[in-house]
């Protein structure tokens, strides 16, 4: 494994308590930085988690029937340490 730098140009917040676990956001995410958690919310359903590399494109927001995403774009990109 080698260390790599991942750049994020945005981020999302996820209202996990409202998520019904439909997973529509997972394939809709162009940078593929959303994945379903192993944890469950108060409804007993899995919810998406964000990993570094979000672009703030809003695709997740557009496909989510439960409006669990809020999208933010950074004025200056943020660097994250990752491993590949």
Selected from 3.30.70.20, 3.30.70.270, 3.30.70.2860, 3.90.550.10, the CATH number assigned to the domain covering 3-74 reads 3.30.70.20
- pLDDT-based confidence at 84, cuts 50/70/90? low
Report pTM: 0.83
Convert 57-78 to b/e letters by CB count within 10 Å (16 or more is b): bebbbeebeeebbebeeeeeee
Give the model confidence (pLDDT) of 17-37 as tens digits.
999 999 999 999 999 999 999
Token pair for 60 = 């997740």
Convert 22-44 to b/e letters by CB count within 10 Å (16 or more is b): eeebeebbebebbeeeeeebeee
Token pair for 13 = 């917040």
Query: Is residue 51 scored above 50 in pLDDT?
Result: yes
Domain residue extents for the chain: 3-74
């Amino acid at each position: 494994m080698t260390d790599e730098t991942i750049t994020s140009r945005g981020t999302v917040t996820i209202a996990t308590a409202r998520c019904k676990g439909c997973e529509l956001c997972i394939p809709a995410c162009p940078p593929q930085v959303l994945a379903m958690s192993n944890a469950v919310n108060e409804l007993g359903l899995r919810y998406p988690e964000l990993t570094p590399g979000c672009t703030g494109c809003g695709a997740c927001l557009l496909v989510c029937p439960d409006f669990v995403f809020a999208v933010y774009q950074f004025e200056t990109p943020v660097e994250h340490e990752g491993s590949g």
